């Protein structure tokens, strides 16, 4: 076992480091770049290539307006009906249903008016500076070309959906998010590829897109290496507290660290469970279909509202992405779900072609209250966490990194970290016992 000295640890050949970050998805990578800007020595540990999992295939949409939890009470009420259609926008695989029951109960509790308004408040605080918080990270990594701020549209085919989406505008504005209702003609002026029967759209001028989420992750990884950080291709199997620091068992030998951050997306709960943290994290899988020769072009992300999925122009083609499938993390993908995205997109984008299309599935790490877990572990010194970013991990990776860096460096954070603390689940367990 390496001897752990806690003084000025750098990344040593013996496997020691100052700050070990478990995972190398976009959340971990943004944090690594951020901590290096703060002068920290970091080591990322992941058995896979950086940003090659969920952070590779997402819709590339930086959505400041994502302040409402994706799983609404209305959706939960419609769940039995939705589940009857195996190719519908939301499915629960039967083998996963037992995991969904306790999670669903917590979700229903989080959907009551009082907790819901606190959740919306917290998501709004996180999303407000989501795009601007990327700036220093992009500059550090020479990756400014990866994010394009040209706004986004939520496109509605029916007047009823447009009314429903536009009804959220006052609430968005109250939280500092600019959103405008536009009619079909204006939507088509902005995006001529849209069908002529579009009822209208909600335009978010400050939203952005990532032109290639995988390439952004690779740039961040290169930057971490170039600034003296280490990326170790290894799986962490166990965390042991050792004095003031940590010893990590990994598939390629032990690593000693002064501080550890668990940022392993959907797998984070498995690493924290042996230390006594019970976390209701589930696999909310989603799909994409990449169209390299779509023959239809968009200039900004368009979220198609019936049912909800995104079409984002990227380097390499048009990416259709979305749908929800609650299933075991490593269950085989269902290619039909990727293909379905094409069928859903054609009415919005006539003339869309699918030659050369590629399919993909990724796992959103989702907590029942839709808030990510960002903070310091309450039961252990020098243990931190940053995971559970569900549908908005790309959007909020940089602001999460900023918040966690503030917590780690014991600075006054720019936003309130309390709603993101994991203890919210512990408290609820003890409340339940007391009730």
Site for ligand FAD, rule CB under 6 A? 22-28, 45-48, 53-55, 58-61, 235-236, 264-267, 271, 286-288, 310, 321-322, 362, 364-365, 387, 389-395
- Is 310 exposed, middle or buried, given 0-12, 13-18 or 19+ CB atoms closer than 10 A? buried
Contact criterion met (CB below 8 Å) for 56 and 213: yes
Residues 220, 224, 226: CA angle, nearest 5 degrees: 115
Cis-peptide into 423, omega within 30 deg: no
Nearer to ligand FAD among residue 232 and residue 354 (C-beta): 232
CB of 422 to ligand FAD, least distance (A): 15
Angle (deg, nearest 10), helices 213-226 and 26-37: 30
Nearer to ligand FAD among residue 199 and residue 262 (C-beta): 262
Nearer to ligand FAD among residue 265 and residue 280 (C-beta): 265
CB of 226 to ligand FAD, least distance (A): 20
CB of 114 to ligand FAD, least distance (A): 26
Nearer to ligand FAD among residue 107 and residue 216 (C-beta): 216
Nearer to ligand FAD among residue 246 and residue 287 (C-beta): 287
Nearer to ligand FAD among residue 9 and residue 363 (C-beta): 363
Q: Which of 264, 245, 219, 242 is nearest to 45 (CA)?
A: 264
CB of 321 to ligand FAD, least distance (A): 4
CB of 22 to ligand FAD, least distance (A): 5
CB of 156 to ligand FAD, least distance (A): 19
CB of 395 to ligand FAD, least distance (A): 3
Question: Measuring CA to CA, how many Å separate 283 from each of 48, 96, 115?
Answer: 19, 9, 23
Rg (CA), the chain: 21
Nearer to ligand FAD among residue 61 and residue 203 (C-beta): 61
Question: Measuring CA to CA, how many Å separate 81 from each of 67, 76, 90, 164, 408?
Answer: 26, 10, 10, 21, 45
Nearer to ligand FAD among residue 245 and residue 365 (C-beta): 365
CB of 420 to ligand FAD, least distance (A): 14
Q: CA–CA separation, 276 vs 423, rounded Å?
A: 12
Residue 169, Cα to own-chain centre: how many angstroms? 23
Q: Is 167 helix (H, G, I), strand (E, B) or coil?
A: coil
Q: CA–CA separation, 113 vs 92, rounded Å?
A: 26
């Amino acid at each position: 076992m390496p001897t752990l000295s806690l003084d000025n640890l750098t990344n040593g050949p013996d496997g020691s480091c100052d700050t070990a970050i478990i995972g190398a998805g976009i959340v971990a990578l943004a944090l690594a770049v951020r901590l290096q800007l703060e002068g920290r020595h970091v080591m990322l540990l992941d058995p896979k290539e950086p940003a090659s999992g969920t952070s590779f295939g997402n819709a590339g949409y930086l959505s400041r307006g994502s302040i409402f939890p994706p799983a609404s009470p209305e959706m939960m009420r419609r769940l039995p009906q939705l589940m009857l259609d195996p190719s519908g926008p939301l499915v629960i695989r039967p083998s996963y249903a037992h995991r969904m029951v306790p999670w669903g109960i917590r979700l229903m509790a989080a959907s009551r008016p009082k907790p819901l308004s606190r959740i919306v408040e917290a998501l709004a605080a996180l999303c407000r500076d989501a795009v601007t918080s990327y700036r220093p990270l992009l500059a550090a990594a020479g990756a400014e070309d990866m994010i394009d701020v040209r706004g986004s549209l939520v496109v509605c085919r029916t007047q009823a959906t447009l009314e429903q989406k536009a009804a959220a505008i006052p609430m968005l504005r109250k939280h500092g998010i600019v959103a405008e209702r536009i009619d079909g003609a204006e939507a088509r002026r902005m995006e001529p590829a849209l069908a002529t029967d579009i009822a209208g759209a909600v335009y978010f001028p400050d939203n952005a897109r990532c032109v290639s989420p995988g390439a952004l992750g690779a740039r961040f990884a290169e930057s971490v290496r170039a600034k003296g950080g280490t990326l170790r291709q290894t799986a962490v199997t166990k965390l042991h507290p050792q004095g003031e620091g940590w010893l990590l068992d990994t598939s390629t030998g032990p690593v000693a660290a002064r501080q550890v951050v668990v940022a392993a997306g959907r797998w984070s709960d498995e690493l924290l469970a042996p230390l006594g943290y019970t976390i209701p994290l589930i696999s909310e899988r989603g799909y994409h279909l990449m169209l390299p020769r779509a023959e239809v072009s968009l200039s900004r992300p368009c979220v198609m509202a019936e049912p909800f999925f995104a079409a984002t122009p990227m380097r390499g083609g048009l990416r259709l992405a979305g749908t929800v499938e609650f299933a075991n993390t490593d269950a085989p993908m269902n290619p039909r779900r990727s293909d379905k995205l094409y069928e859903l997109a054609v009415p919005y984008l006539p003339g869309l072609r699918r030659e050369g299309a590629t399919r993909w599935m990724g796992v959103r790490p989702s907590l029942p209250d839709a808030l990510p877990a960002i903070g310091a572990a309450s039961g252990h010194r020098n243990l931190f966490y940053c995971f559970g970013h569900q549908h908005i991990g790309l959007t909020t990776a940089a602001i999460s990194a900023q918040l966690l860096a503030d917590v780690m460096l014991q600075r006054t954070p720019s936003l309130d970290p309390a709603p993101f603390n994991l203890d919210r689940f512990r408290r609820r367990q003890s409340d339940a016992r007391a009730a």
